[in-house]
Amino acid sequence: MSATRIHVHGDSPYDVVVGTGVQDELTTLLKPGARTVAVIRPESLPDLAKPVTAALSQRGYEVADLPVPDGEQAKSVDVAARLWSALARHGVTRSDAVVGVGGGATTDLAGFVAGTWLRGVQVVLVPTTLLAMVDAAVGGKNGIDTPEGKNLVGTFLPPAGVLCELSTLAGMPRADYVAGLAEIIKGGFIADPAILTLVESDPEAATTPGGPHTRELIERKIQVKADVVGADLRESGLREILNYGHTLAHAIEREEHYTIRHGEAVAIGMVYAAELSRLSGRFDVVERTRSILTSVGLPVSYHAGAWSRLRDHMRLDKKNRGAKQRFVVLDGPARPGRLEDPAEELLEAAYKEISA
């Protein structure tokens, strides 16, 4: 199967390569001059990185294998500091490179470490989960977590390239794959309604890696993100639409101590955003949101968190400006807008709808 190249425009343009059997494309994404490549990957999944390290070694690169904790536990200052020390030991210079292999947490960490080491070295990301392919690895936003919230410390560093090898999705647990669909569906609501039509036409196929629409869904969502981040890397305006559903989602993740899957939290957050749109008299997409998320097995309600605690978490959202809360809502199909500083009564009323 041939590779698809999706170009991300901007001051530092790059390609996202999508396909099956595209591992050999990895070294074409690295900029000339690198001698040492540090490969950051989850410690429990060494086999994921073997094709990457083998391809690099065969091309003559000196490879440093740097395992990190699995999942969100990797995104900490302590882990980043250990990686900085490892880069120093392996003599990684400004002309060398970092390659991040794994899910969204690993690619976030790899991008952050690359962006802060020597004030920035090139990074190529090799996402191996659906969520990482369609969201985390594309866009140049890299972050780590603090006790106060998720991704509050980070950098903007576009990767030198992103390699999406679709065959790695076959081994994903079903629940993790379905959770990744939430970000694809989000892309349908904010920019590309054809995504929603594809999912609704065959929800079961949408939840299956290698299904008839798998590649098209992935490529469509990557294109949505590429178009947005190419126009607004630093989230100064347009890019905020990618946070549709994320204000409550991040609050839920923190409330659950990051034990809930990101996509599951985003699914709930999208229902909340839809309720905000409806209750504020803008656009009613609640029924369709609930229907499409339910059809693929994603949650549409949340009962565990006290509203007061979630509200406190939401006050640290990155879209806020001063004391003003900002939410991404919909003004129509694929027409995202902003709800500025809504009344507390409206926010609580929307939460009651998803916790009923």
97 is in an annotated binding site: no
192 is in an annotated binding site: no
Active-site entry in 41, 186, 220, 246: 246
91 is in an annotated binding site: no
Active-site entry in 89, 119, 257, 321: 119
94 — phi, psi (to 5°)? -65, -20
- Distance from C-alpha of 266 to C-alpha of 296, rounded to nearest angstrom: 14
320 is a catalytic site residue: no
Please say whether the beta carbons of 325 and 314 come within 8 A.
yes
73 is in an annotated binding site: yes
243 is a catalytic site residue: yes
Residue 258 DSSP class: T
105 is in an annotated binding site: yes
Active-site entry in 186, 220, 254, 262: 262
221 is a catalytic site residue: no
303 is a catalytic site residue: no
Neighbour tally for 303: CB within 10 Å: 7
CA-wise closest residue to 273 among 333, 336, 225, 227? 336
168 is in an annotated binding site: no
> Exposed, middle or buried, 337 (CB in 10 Å: 0-12/13-18/19+)?
middle
Active-site entry in 41, 186, 243, 318: 243
303 is in an annotated binding site: no
> Exposed, middle or buried, 205 (CB in 10 Å: 0-12/13-18/19+)?
middle
Q: Give the DSSP letter string of 2-54.
A: PPEEEEE-SSS-EEEEEESS-GGGHHHHSPTT--EEEEEEETT-HHHHHHHHH
106 beta partners: none
235 is a catalytic site residue: yes
183 is a catalytic site residue: yes
107 is in an annotated binding site: yes
221 is in an annotated binding site: no
- Distance from C-alpha of 297 to C-alpha of 299, rounded to nearest angstrom: 7
Active-site entry in 220, 250, 254, 290: 250
Active-site entry in 82, 151, 215, 235: 235
170 is in an annotated binding site: no
88 is in an annotated binding site: no
State how beta strands 36-42 and 62-68 pair.
parallel
264 is in an annotated binding site: no
Neighbour tally for 88: CB within 10 Å: 11
250 is a catalytic site residue: yes
104 is in an annotated binding site: yes
262 is in an annotated binding site: yes
| Structure token digits, residue 261 | 């899957």
State how beta strands 335-340 and 326-332 pair.
antiparallel
Active-site entry in 239, 261, 313, 326: 239
129 is in an annotated binding site: yes
309 is a catalytic site residue: no
Strand locations in the chain, DSSP E? 4-8, 14-19, 36-42, 62-68, 97-102, 122-127, 141-146, 149-156, 161-165, 326-332, 335-340
155 is in an annotated binding site: no
Active-site entry in 41, 186, 221, 225: 225
Q: Which residues are annotated as a binding site for Zn(2+)?
A: 183, 246, 262
Q: Which residues are catalytic?
A: 119, 141, 183, 225, 235, 239, 243, 246, 250, 262
Q: Which residues are annotated as a binding site for NAD(+)?
A: 70-75, 104-108, 128-129, 141, 150
Q: Which residues are annotated as a binding site?
A: 70-75, 104-108, 128-129, 141, 150, 183, 246, 262
